[in-house]
Structure 1
Amino acid sequence: MSSTLPRTTLPKTSDATFAADVLGSDVPVLVDFTASWCPPCRMVTPVLEQLAAEERDRLRVVQLDVDADPETARTYRVMGLPTMSLFRDGEVVASVVGARPRAAITREIEPFLAPR
């Protein structure tokens, strides 16, 4: 079982860089907790890539491989994959568990993003 995630345009974060990449960010960050062996994770990646491109002024989207970097997933009690957690000012303000359509993801995170 490989811990290499499929090719994506989404930047990666890790246990070592999570504080700087996510907790210290001045914009909200949607963390995609994912794994290479997870088919629903692969299904949601293109949706997140599109969301990241279209909302780049209001949001960053990063991936964290839970197999390669389990500490952060454990800290935030990630129990199912994919889990997408929105961090704002260093705190989780919204989470979506499971592969969801873009509209469902957007509905959960929109209240926490800057106005357009």
Structure 2
Amino acid sequence: MSLRAISSASFQESIQENKVTMVDFSTKWCPPCKKLHPILEELEGEEKNRLSIFHVDCDESPELASEFSIMAAPTVIVFHNGEPVDKLIGLRPKGVYQAALARYAP
């Protein structure tokens, strides 16, 4: 499984689902980003009924990185009902992402 990439064109449509959406803002060359992807892929596989996870490459979509004030990679923004509700900066343990999901999709 691989995180689904989204761009400016598909961003709003992707986060409008009625479940929690996490968007990973990262780059291809960032070592912590490479470590985060398998964690997020595993989490999405376990929680696919409650959670969607997408990937935005900050180098390919700098306008999205700017819109959400991404200053460090990786940054995961949690959306609930299309609105940003949490921002997790840096590589975190899987439990941190699970806790964010639990807050918005109990």
Instruction: State the TM-score bracket (shorter-chain normalisation).
Output: over 0.9
Aligned counterparts of 1:53 and 1:89: Cα–Cα separation in 2: 21
Unaligned runs of 5+ in 2: none
Q: Are the counterparts in 2 of residues 84 and 95 from structure 1 also a CA contact under 8 Å? A: yes
Q: 1:50 aligns with which of 34, 42, 48?
A: 42
Question: What amino acid does structure 1 have at the position aligned with 2:14?
Answer: D
Normalising by structure 2, report the TM-score: 0.94
Give the alignment partner of residue 73 of structure 1, picking from 65, 69, 78.
Answer: 65
What is aligned with 2:74?
Answer: 82
The 5 A counterparts of 1:5-84 are: 9-22=2-15, 24-84=16-76
Structure 1 residue runs of 5 or longer lacking an equivalent are 1-7
Give, in whole Å, the separation in 2 of the partners of 1:50 and 1:62: 13
Higher strand fraction (1 or 2): 2
**Residue 85 of structure 1 contacts residue 96 of structure 1 at CA under 8 Å; is this kept in 2?**
yes
Q: CA deviation at 1:27?
A: 1.4
Percent of aligned positions that are identical: 34
TM-score for the superposition, normalised by structure 1: 0.86
Pair member with larger Rg: 1
**Offset at 1:108?**
2.8
List per-residue Cα deviations over 1:14-67 (Å, max 9, x = no partner).
111101111x22211100001011100000100000000000000000100010
Larger helix share, 1 or 2: 2
Instruction: State the distance in 2 between where 1:63 and 1:18 align.
Output: 10
Within 1, Cα distance between the matches of 2:67 and 2:49? 28
